[in-house]
Structure 1
């Protein structure tokens, strides 16, 4: 069976998938995949769908500097229930200190070692059931990290994990500082899909995120009552400049009017912010069965300009807002008063 995404027509050479394997029904049972767990009949402990991993003597998570033969992954990570990811290593180190203090797991000023210190690609920190990881900038960087993270959760035998991307973004029609919880990640043509080339063929994957989790996060924000939060579509682009209709890049072949028309089309399509990672994040959460959410603060309204003019202190306050929201959610889930 081939699953189609509603709302667009497939190109002739394009395969549209919600599940990764469709031609052989039994292939979805490979590598520990359990249909009953996905159907909500038990705790999910396997997030991978790759029959080749079982035949490997060792799985080296190269960009994490971890491996199944060199590290006791269940002992190190088996208690993880929440994974929070963001682009900046500094931000994710700051977040783990913040959440550790809020959960009363340690002194918030404690020095948390970087678990990935042997590599310069990503940084990873852990405090109790919370894992904090940097993912760099753009789809390729976060995609590599997610492959190894999902395998890490599998090897560590983690169950019922929630993963949340926290970050910054450009807003559309929102006041700066508004937090956007992503309903769907859409591409630059406003379609809810992630396109990837596999074996020379275009594969389209769904980018819907967990609706219940989004609503839970929105309710947490209402409870906090410290900043505006909305649920909306997030446009994920392949670059920071022309792909986002900016006028301040090294190259620009369109007018201010054309930019504004495009952003108006995006707003009409439900887009409320723009970033560069949500599509592959949503697609991989969907494939793996992980509960996932994207929570990004808007630093400016892109209809009013392309460059940030807010003060350093104001931007720091904005960047803390997704962390505060996720902190409140985690504390609620763990019943920490």
Structure 2
């Protein structure tokens, strides 16, 4: 059996990072002469994965291609790896599905919006890390969200992703059967990120549950979609119940992100800024400049974490 490859079913959702290699629970891949990562425009027959990506230690994913390009430039300056104003080439320029940028040991990748889009990206990204023989990789989703009981601009480090019923699980239909996977995230990593935020003292940061929904409007109890069959009172009761269950923000990717990272043995975290307090409204009304500054907060926090960890590694 190939080193780092496992066929065991890891449905317990363990977040242990004891094994440094990326796990692939798919024996069929061993029978393939070439693995084409179609949505990334990459393949083992056309690219030297270990040469291109073998030094990757940190993967940061977020919804928007432009935001992830901006993050790659920002981390370039923070790590002193070049001119932060210089252009960073898109490794996946041959496709319009996702964008990927590499800066030293940091990979910055867009994942689109919603569970289906990030799921496709993660399948191919996890295989990329495996084929590249990467080890001790930390993956962090950085993004935006709607807050519950938090002032806009607050940053939430996710302890666990929950579904719309506040259960810490991700359900998927496979071969007509419901498969349930754990969505707990790495507690030690969340604590390290919180410590970085406390060092910075630039914005409010909390650790809490993140509710992952299937859509932006009805699934998040908004009143401003094309359809709405509930009252404002019912909406507020639901959001208050979410708050009492420990939910501090809402987005649309964290559950499958946590589940898939657990299965692959990747140390993972979700860091999102809140753009509004959903207990006070549904529409995002802050100015463009304010929103841009908010969106930079998770980037700053994660960059600080990466810089600290790399400096610590050099000192050892």
Structure 1 distance, partners of 2:133, 2:7, is 13
Structure 2 distance, partners of 1:324, 1:47, is 30
Q: Is the 8 A contact 1:169 1:296 kept in 2?
A: yes
Q: Is the 8 A contact 1:234 1:278 kept in 2?
A: yes
Q: By how many angstroms is 1:106 displaced?
A: 1.0
Structure 2 distance, partners of 1:319, 1:283, is 25
Aligned pairs for 1:230-249 (under 5 A) are: 230-249=206-225
Tell me, yes or no, if structure 1 residue 45 matches structure 2 residue 18: no
For the residue of structure 1 that corresponds to 2:311, the secondary structure is: coil
Q: By how many angstroms is 1:310 displaced?
A: 1.3
Structure 1 residues 31 and 327: alpha-carbon distance in aligned structure 2, compared to 1, 3 A threshold? closer
Q: Is the 8 A contact 1:30 1:49 kept in 2?
A: no
Q: By how many angstroms is 1:34 displaced?
A: 9.2
Out of 194, 203, 221, the position equivalent to 2:197 is 221
For the residue of structure 2 that corresponds to 1:202, the secondary structure is: strand
4+ aligned runs moved over 6 Å, structure 1:
28-31
Out of 177, 181, 195, the position equivalent to 1:205 is 181
Tell me, yes or no, if structure 1 residue 54 matches structure 2 residue 30: yes
Aligned pairs for 1:242-257 (under 5 A) are: 242-257=218-233
Structure 1 residues 39 and 312: alpha-carbon distance in aligned structure 2, compared to 1, 3 A threshold? closer
Unaligned runs of 5+ in 1: 1-27
Out of 49, 68, 86, the position equivalent to 2:62 is 86
For the residue of structure 2 that corresponds to 1:191, the secondary structure is: coil
Tell me the alpha carbon deviations over residues 44-76 of structure 1, each in whole angstroms, 9 at most, x when there is no partner: 223211111111000000000000000000000
Alignment-derived partner of residue 104 in structure 2:
128
Out of 165, 181, 189, the position equivalent to 2:141 is 165
Structure 2 distance, partners of 1:187, 1:69, is 39
Unaligned runs of 5+ in 2: 9-14
Alignment-derived partner of residue 33 in structure 1:
6
Range moving further from structure 2, 307-316 or 156-165: 307-316
Structure 2 distance, partners of 1:233, 1:40, is 21
Tell me, yes or no, if structure 1 residue 299 matches structure 2 residue 275: yes
Q: Is the 8 A contact 1:47 1:153 kept in 2?
A: no
Range moving further from structure 2, 144-153 or 47-56: 47-56
For the residue of structure 2 that corresponds to 1:32, the secondary structure is: coil
Tell me, yes or no, if structure 1 residue 263 matches structure 2 residue 225: no
Question: TM-score, structure 2 length as denominator?
Answer: 0.94
Structure 2 distance, partners of 1:245, 1:116, is 36
Alignment-derived partner of residue 78 in structure 2:
102
Tell me, yes or no, if structure 1 residue 285 matches structure 2 residue 261: yes
Out of 178, 187, 204, the position equivalent to 2:163 is 187
For the residue of structure 2 that corresponds to 1:71, the secondary structure is: coil
Tell me the alpha carbon deviations over residues 193-242 of structure 1, each in whole angstroms, 9 at most, x when there is no partner: 00000110000000000000000000000000000000000000000000
Structure 2 distance, partners of 1:61, 1:150, is 10
Q: By how many angstroms is 1:30 displaced?
A: 9.5
Alignment-derived partner of residue 4 in structure 1:
none
Q: By how many angstroms is 1:93 displaced?
A: 0.3
Question: TM-score, structure 1 length as denominator?
Answer: 0.88
RMSD of equivalent CA atoms: 1.8
Alignment-derived partner of residue 51 in structure 2:
75
For the residue of structure 2 that corresponds to 1:52, the secondary structure is: helix
Tell me the alpha carbon deviations over residues 89-140 of structure 1, each in whole angstroms, 9 at most, x when there is no partner: 0000000000011101110011111100001100000010000000000000
Structure 1 distance, partners of 2:240, 2:294, is 24
Number of equivalences = 307
Q: By how many angstroms is 1:40 displaced?
A: 5.8
Structure 1 distance, partners of 2:17, 2:37, is 29
Tell me the alpha carbon deviations over residues 16-57 of structure 1, each in whole angstroms, 9 at most, x when there is no partner: xxxxxxxxxxxx99971299xx9766x622321111111100
For the residue of structure 1 that corresponds to 2:258, the secondary structure is: helix
